[in-house]
Amino acid sequence: MLIHKGFRYRAYPSPAAQAMLARWFGCARVVHNLGLDQHRMFSRKGRSFGYTKQTADLPTLKAEFPWLAECFSQCLQQALKDLDHAFQCFFTGQGGYPRPWKKFEDDSLRFPQMTRTDAKTGEVVDMVALTRDGIHFPGGLGFIPVCFHRPLEGTPKHITLQRQGLTWWVSVCCEIEVTTPRPLGHDTLLKGFTGVDFGVANAYTRADGHVYAVPGETDGEAKRRLRLERRIARAVEARKAYGRINRSRREMKLRESLRALDQRVRRRRDDALHKITSDLAQNHGLIGIEDLRIATMTASARGSAEAPGRKVAQKAGLNRGLLGNAFGKFRRMLTYKAGWYGAAVVAINPARTSQTCSECHRHPKDSPETAHLSHGRINQAEFACPLCGFACHADVNAARNIERLATREFIRRVDSGESAAKPAPAKRKKTLSGLSAKPKASPDASRTRDQDPAGGRPVAARGARGVGQAKNRDVSVSRKAG
C-alpha cells in the first residue's frame, strides 16, 4: 500500500534568500487573511466561498496589489487551500473557527508540484530539484542549502519551507510503497497489548509499570523565559507611552529570543513523543488510550467578576502540566504510526479507570452494600482497593483498567465486523453563528482531531516547568495484606 511520510531537515538560506522568503511569507499571509475576511463578510449574506472560487480571484487581487506577483503563484494558492481545509475541519467538528495568520508564527510556504511538462518539447522538467546538499526552488528563490541528515524514502510529492523562531526547516512529503499490514483481527493481540494512562507527574504509564517521561522546561529556561517576558512587557509599555505603533528593534530581538526558547522546548518534547509512540506502535498489536476532552480538562478556573473562581493559580499550574505533556499530539502520532505497523489504537471512556480496582474489577459504588466505602485512589500516586486489598501505583492501576477495557472493546468490534483500527470522530455540524447540531451519541466517538503526519500546521502547547523531567522508569506492583 502507499503511505505518505514526512521528512524534516534543517535549511540554511542565505541572507538574500531570507529577505525574499520574508516577503513571500507576507504575501501568503495577506492572501490567507483576505480570504478569511471574505468568508466572514459574505457568509452572513448567504454566499459561500470555496478554494476554486477564491483561487480564480487571485489574478484580480494581483492586479490591485502588484507586489503579490513577487511570490510564487502556487504558494498563494496553497494558502487558500489551507484556509479551505480549516473551514472543512470546522464544519465537521474537527477544529475551531479558522483564525488569521500572524507574522513570525505562521511563516511557511508549500510547493505542491515537483515537476512540470514543458509546453514546447513535452519533456518533464523539475520545478523543485533535490540535490545532494540542497534544494533548488522555483520563482527566483534559487538554491537553498539543506542538511540531509537521513536519506529520503519513496517519491517526493510536495515540499514545505518553514521558519520557526530563528531556524529554518524543510519538510518533504514522500509517497512510499510499504507492505500492506494484515487485517486487524484476533491474531493482532498475539503481538502484545497494553494500556496507557495519561497524567501530569507521570506523563504516560504503561500497564506493565513502565513510565515514559516527556521533558519540559528546565529551571534555567523557565527563569530565562520570565526575564524575556518582563523585558518585552517593559518595551511594549514604553512604546505605548510614546504613542508608537511599530515595534522597536530591541523588542523584536527580545521576541526572537523568546521564540527560539519556545522552539527549543518544543523540539525536545516532539523528540520524546516520537520515541514513545514508535516504541508503542512497533512492539504492540493493541494500544488502549483514554478518550480525553483536553479542552474541557484545561478550562480556566478564573470565573467571572460576579462569580470568581477558587484556586485559580493551582488550576493554571495543572493546566500547564496537562498541556505540556501534549496528549493530543501523542494521540495523533500514535494513530498514524499504528496504521504503519499494523496495530490498533482503541480509545475508551476514562470514567472510573483510576478508581476501579484492576485486580478484582470492582468499584465500591457498584454495590449498595459497599457504597459507603471510599474508592481506592488514596492520592496521586497510591491506590489500595478497599474490597480485595490489592495495592499498586495509581497510574499503573489505571493503565491496567484501560488495557482490559480496550481489549474487550477491540474483541467486540472484531466479532461484530466493525472497524477495529480507530473510532470515527463524532461530527458536530457547526454554523458561523456558533450554533451546532448535536450528533447522535456514539460510544466510539473520538474527541480529538486526527491529522495526517505530513499535512497541516502543527500547534504545540508550551512546555510546563518541572513536569515530567525524570527519566523513564518502572513502577512496581505489590499486593497489600488484606
Average pLDDT over residues 442-447: 38
Mean pLDDT of the chain: 82
Residue 282's nearest CA partner among 196, 174, 191 is: 191
pLDDT tens, 189-204? Answer: 888 899 999 988 888 9
pLDDT tens, 52-80? Answer: 999 999 999 999 999 999 999 999 999 99
| Beta-carbon contacts of residue 441 (< 8 Å; ≥ 6 apart) | none
Instruction: Name the grid cell of 57.
Output: 480571484
Lowest-confidence pick of 213-227, 290-304, 376-390: 290-304
Residue 235's nearest CA partner among 217, 248, 221, 223 is: 248
Q: What percent of the chain has pLDDT over 90?
A: 48
Q: Are 403 and 290 in contact (CB under 8 A)?
A: no
Handedness of CA 383, 384, 388, 390 (dihedral sign): positive
Show the beta-strand stretches assigned E in 337-437: 344-348, 382-384, 390-393, 429-430, 436-437
| Beta-carbon contacts of residue 33 (< 8 Å; ≥ 6 apart) | 100, 101
pLDDT at 461: 37
Amino acid at position 258, single letter: L
CA 171 to chain centre: 16
pLDDT at 257: 93
DSSP string, 320-346: HHHHHTTHHHHHHHHHHHHHHHT-EEE
Q: Are 273 and 333 in contact (CB under 8 A)?
A: yes
pLDDT at 148: 95
Collapsing DSSP to helix, strand or coil, 169 comes out as strand
Average pLDDT over residues 149-176: 92
Give the strands of the sheet with 344-348, arranged side by side.
Answer: 344-348, 286-290, 193-198, 204-206, 210-212, 473-474
Residue 277's nearest CA partner among 206, 347, 224, 215 is: 206
Average pLDDT over residues 227-251: 92
Collapsing DSSP to helix, strand or coil, 320 comes out as helix
Q: Are 195 and 288 in contact (CB under 8 A)?
A: yes
Confidence band of 322 (pLDDT split at 50, 70, 90): confident
**Alpha-carbon distance 440 to 383, whole Å?**
36
pLDDT at 310: 75
Residue 135 has pLDDT above 50, yes or no: yes
Q: Are 170 and 454 in contact (CB under 8 A)?
A: no
Q: Are 449 and 329 in contact (CB under 8 A)?
A: no
pLDDT at 201: 85
Query: From the CB of residue 475, how many other CB atoms can be counted at a distance below 10 Å?
Result: 18
**Alpha-carbon distance 71 to 68, whole Å?**
6
Query: From the CB of residue 155, how many other CB atoms can be counted at a distance below 10 Å?
Result: 12
**Alpha-carbon distance 456 to 368, whole Å?**
51
Q: Are 355 and 364 in contact (CB under 8 A)?
A: no
Residue 470's φ and ψ, nearest 5 degrees, are -75, 155
Residue 390's nearest CA partner among 368, 351, 362 is: 362
**Alpha-carbon distance 270 to 325, whole Å?**
10
Average pLDDT over residues 424-443: 41
Confidence band of 474 (pLDDT split at 50, 70, 90): very low
Lowest-confidence pick of 32-36, 337-341, 409-413, 422-426: 422-426
CA 114 to chain centre: 27
Residue 459 has pLDDT above 70, yes or no: no
Collapsing DSSP to helix, strand or coil, 130 comes out as strand
pLDDT at 65: 93
Query: From the CB of residue 9, how many other CB atoms can be counted at a distance below 10 Å?
Result: 17
Residue 88 has pLDDT above 70, yes or no: yes
pLDDT at 434: 39
Entry pTM: 0.77
Q: Are 95 and 89 in contact (CB under 8 A)?
A: yes
Instruction: Name the grid cell of 170.
Output: 524543510
Instruction: Name the grid cell of 270.
Output: 516532539
**Alpha-carbon distance 467 to 476, whole Å?**
21
pLDDT at 21: 95
Q: Are 388 and 360 in contact (CB under 8 A)?
A: yes
Q: Are 239 and 233 in contact (CB under 8 A)?
A: no
pLDDT at 297: 76
pLDDT at 460: 37
Average pLDDT over residues 94-120: 88
Confidence band of 25 (pLDDT split at 50, 70, 90): very high
313 or 244: which carries more pLDDT confidence? 244
Residue 83's nearest CA partner among 58, 60, 62 is: 58
Confidence band of 150 (pLDDT split at 50, 70, 90): very high
Average pLDDT over residues 115-120: 80
Q: CA separation (Å) from 156 to 4, 38, 175, 180, 334?
A: 9, 34, 6, 20, 23
Confidence band of 305 (pLDDT split at 50, 70, 90): low
Residue 479's φ and ψ, nearest 5 degrees, are -115, 130
477 or 350: which carries more pLDDT confidence? 350
Residue 287's φ and ψ, nearest 5 degrees, are -125, 120
pLDDT at 420: 66
pLDDT tens, 10-23? Answer: 999 999 999 999 99
pLDDT at 374: 77
